[in-house]
């Protein structure tokens, strides 16, 4: 089992996720018609019961299951377990699929669920706007953070329930498909094309993605990591200009944080304009406006790459800890600025501190609440907390802490308390208490602390 649900259902996402089981693997076979936005899929979900399960509830939004099978997963052979599964009763609400097996599944028992489903996928409304599957002018984007994975497959949509993925997508031949992991095959047949991807590293549901468009692809070497730029041919010049420094970004982050944690990195640039870029596991999605050939979004290209360490490999146990994703990625922007000869991390920190000082001091960065979890103050105060800690520890100890943090928690889920413990240990017996007190002031007091000397 590669993941377990820490802390139960997340209070930031009421009604989403289930703490009764942990998923080990999703096998998704998808058939998508671009012109009519029609999705037909089969999901094979391998999981373990964490308590007795008379019923199994999945998050599934707007799509309808036609047949559900449940079987034992004890053999460890997904195909054999799926083939021997028995039909089970199921019911649905707008955002859930509830499956009732013939007899309750015992705690600790492995099981497999096969779901045939179909419908017209669309984004899910949320506190933070529409999330999940979204039609573009000519293609598809999946941007699921934090609760949109259910718009395209049945899942346990909680960030700490990480699983492996195998994704097969059949769509119209002129379109390119990008999904998580390494591309195993790509073959044309009768005007259509089948794309097959495997993601062996544990992945949160919100980081699973499928991107479909009329794209071309360019291979790039990113400090020894296999990279791809995927984009419409019409904006090739802007993409190649604005993403030309990915290699140097990767080199910096591998030096500071340790080896890149996935098989490769893909930057997808859609033909449509997007409000913000967004990370996925082993990938990031940008809009055409982020690749205009003027380097205007260089810092966010660095930000999204940093998420591969902070947020993707080392994930959050619950959404209240989101500063561990965004504060670290924001601080990585400042480190990259200094690396490329721009403002130093100190100058960036001072500027953003002055900006925060002019804003309301009514947010708790370490537990901001659902409505404010994407507030820019979470990002900037989180980054400043790290800058303050760096000043206390010194560069050698600080960056050793970050490398150890990434190595020790690789593919896992963490909390703010976990980082407090790690920082205290890195500071040593003489300064461990000071390190914890410093972080607690930045993360759990609404008042903005004094600028770190």
Question: Residues 117, 175, 215, 379: which is the catalytic one?
Answer: 379
CB atoms within 10 A of CB 219: 9
Burial category of 10 from C-beta neighbours within 10 Å (exposed 0-12, middle 13-18, buried 19 and up): buried
What's the rounded Cα separation, in Å, for the pair 1 and 42?
22
| 153: DSSP letter | S
CA neighbours within 13 Å on the CB side: how many for 261?
Answer: 28
| 20: DSSP letter | T
Q: Where are the beta strands (DSSP E) in 232-307?
A: 264-269, 278-280, 283-286
What's the rounded Cα separation, in Å, for the pair 329 and 380?
10
| 125: DSSP letter | P
Question: Residues 46, 134, 304, 333: which is the catalytic one?
Answer: 304
447 classed as catalytic: no
Q: Is 426 helix (H, G, I), strand (E, B) or coil?
A: helix
Name the strand (E) or helix (H) holding 132.
Answer: strand 132-136
299 Cβ contact partners less than 8 Å away, ≥ 6 residues apart? 333, 336, 337
Lookup: tokens for 117: 């489903």
Which residues belong to the annotated binding site for Zn(2+)?
Answer: 303, 307, 326
- Tell me if the bond preceding 263 is cis, omega within 30° of 0: no
Angle CA 276–278–280, to nearest 5:
170
Which residues belong to the annotated binding site?
Answer: 303, 307, 326
206 classed as catalytic: no
Which residues are known to be catalytic? Answer: 304, 379
């Amino acid at each position: 089992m590669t993941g377990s649900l820490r802390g139960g259902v997340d209070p930031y996402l009421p009604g989403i996720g289930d703490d009764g089981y942990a998923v080990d693997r999703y096998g998704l076979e998808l058939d998508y018609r671009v012109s009519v936005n029609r999705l037909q899929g089969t999901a094979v979900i391998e999981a373990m019961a964490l308590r007795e399960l008379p019923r199994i509830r999945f998050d599934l939004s707007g799509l309808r299951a036609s047949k559900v099978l449940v079987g034992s997963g004890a053999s460890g052979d997904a195909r054999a377990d799926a083939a021997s599964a028995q039909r089970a009763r199921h019911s649905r609400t707008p955002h859930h699929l509830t499956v009732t097996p013939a007899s309750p599944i015992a705690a600790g028992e492995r099981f497999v669920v096969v779901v045939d489903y179909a419908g017209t996928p669309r984004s899910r409304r949320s506190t933070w706007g529409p999330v999940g599957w979204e039609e573009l002018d000519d293609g598809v984007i999946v941007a699921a953070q934090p609760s949109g994975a259910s718009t395209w497959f049945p899942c346990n949509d909680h960030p700490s329930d990480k699983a492996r993925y195998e994704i097969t997508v059949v769509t119209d031949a002129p379109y390119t498909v990008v999904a998580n992991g390494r591309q195993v095959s790509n073959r044309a047949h009768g005007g259509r094309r089948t794309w097959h991807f495997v993601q062996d590293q544990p992945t949160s549901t919100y980081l699973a993605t499928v991107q479909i468009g009329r794209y071309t692809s360019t291979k790039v070497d990113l400090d020894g990591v296999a990279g791809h730029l995927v984009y419409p041919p019409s904006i090739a010049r802007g993409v190649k200009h604005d993403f030309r420094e990915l290699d140097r970004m990767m080199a910096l982050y591998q030096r500071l944080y340790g080896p890149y944690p996935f098989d490769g990195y893909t930057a997808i640039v859609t033909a449509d304009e997007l409000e913000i870029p967004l990370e996925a596991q082993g990938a990031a999605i940008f809009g055409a406006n982020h690749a205009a050939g003027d380097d205007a979004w260089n810092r966010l290209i660095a930000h999204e790459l940093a998420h591969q360490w902070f947020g993707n490999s080392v994930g959050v146990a619950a959404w209240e800890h989101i500063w561990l994703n965004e504060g670290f990625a924001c601080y990585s922007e400042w480190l990259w600025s200094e690396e490329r000869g721009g403002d130093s991390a100190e100058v960036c920190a001072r500027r953003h501190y002055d900006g925060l000082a002019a804003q309301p001091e009514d947010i708790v960065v370490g537990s901001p609440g659902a409505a404010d979890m994407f507030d820019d103050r979470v990002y900037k105060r989180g980054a400043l907390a790290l800058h303050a800690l760096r000043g206390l520890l010194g560069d050698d100890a600080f960056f050793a802490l970050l490398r150890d943090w990434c190595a020790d928690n690789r593919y896992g889920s963490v909390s703010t308390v976990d980082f407090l413990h790690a920082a205290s240990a890195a500071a040593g017996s003489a300064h461990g208490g000071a390190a914890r007190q410093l972080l607690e002031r930045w993360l759990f007091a609404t008042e903005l602390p004094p600028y770190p000397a």
